[in-house]
Structure 1
């Protein structure tokens, strides 16, 4: 497996991203096409298109909502634990000064860069994306959802 970095840190779930969602998109395109080109069954194709769209929307939103909600809680917990291990004190004050995107980006750093980029995030208010781009040695997160 190649080393994780900014360009390859995103994760895809093939059955969802490359089979189920593309199939729903194709069915939606078929339904819209048939609405305009199949006059006798136009109402049926409208209903078909609405149902396919709702399935697509539901699949996307539920997957995002549950997985990301849980992952966000774990990322915050990991930050608290890591901060305590490095500095020997609670992170409550520091955490209030950071956005979730900054906290999430810091998980890709090793301890030496963590300190430096945490300081920059607090004092220079650099974004999570800027933090990721500033990482010299990525600490891979291979267990994400």
Structure 2
């Protein structure tokens, strides 16, 4: 499968199309129940809030873990290309910029890192600057 800027967004179908919509539905339903009879139904509201919170927390944990792995991947790629540690450049970039740079080929990575730092490019600008897109089919 070919991947580029226009189709790189990934969805985890179970999470995005089943768990999150059901969690929202449950939460809205518990709000309605609680508004009808706050004394008897307050516990339902807590359960609804718990379900939606767990859904968001699971997604946040997965994204943060993937960001850490991508940062490690970028450290390795930078070292393989330059034989220098990535630390100096890494400290000048946000994690979102580093994640965006992940899609660049080795041939354009170093120049794009310097451009991202010099022009303070946001992740969207970085991704649009990539000519030789390297797909990431494992990110969710």
TM-score range (shorter-chain normalised) is 0.7 to 0.9
Q: How many residues align?
A: 140
Q: Which residues of structure 1 form unaligned runs of 5+?
A: none
For 2:38 and 2:129, locate their aligned partners in 1 and report how far apart those are by CA, in whole Å.
54
Residues in 2 aligned to 1:6 and 1:45: alpha-carbon distance in whole angstroms: 47
1:46 is displaced (CA, Å) by: 3.1
CA deviation after TM superposition for structure 1 residue 34, in Å: 3.2
Looking at structure 2, the residues matched to 68 and 60 of structure 1 have their Cα atoms a distance apart, in angstroms, of 11
Task: Output the TM-score relative to the length of structure 2.
Answer: 0.87
Deviation (angstroms), 1:33: 2.7
**TM-score after normalising by structure 1:** 0.84
Within 2, Cα distance between the matches of 1:133 and 1:45? 50
Match of 2:120 in 1: 125
For 1:26 and 1:70, how far apart are their aligned partners in 2? Answer: 28
Supply the RMSD in Å over aligned alpha carbons. 1.8
Structure 1 contact 32–45 (Cα < 8 Å) conserved = no
8 Å contact kept, 2:97–2:123 = yes
Matches within 5 A, 1:1-145: 1=1, 3-36=2-35, 38=36, 41-65=37-61, 67-145=62-140
Partners of 1:77 and 1:127 in 2: how far apart?
A: 20
Q: Give the distance between the partners of 1:44 and 1:129, measured in 2 at CA.
A: 48
The CA deviation at 1:49 is 2.1
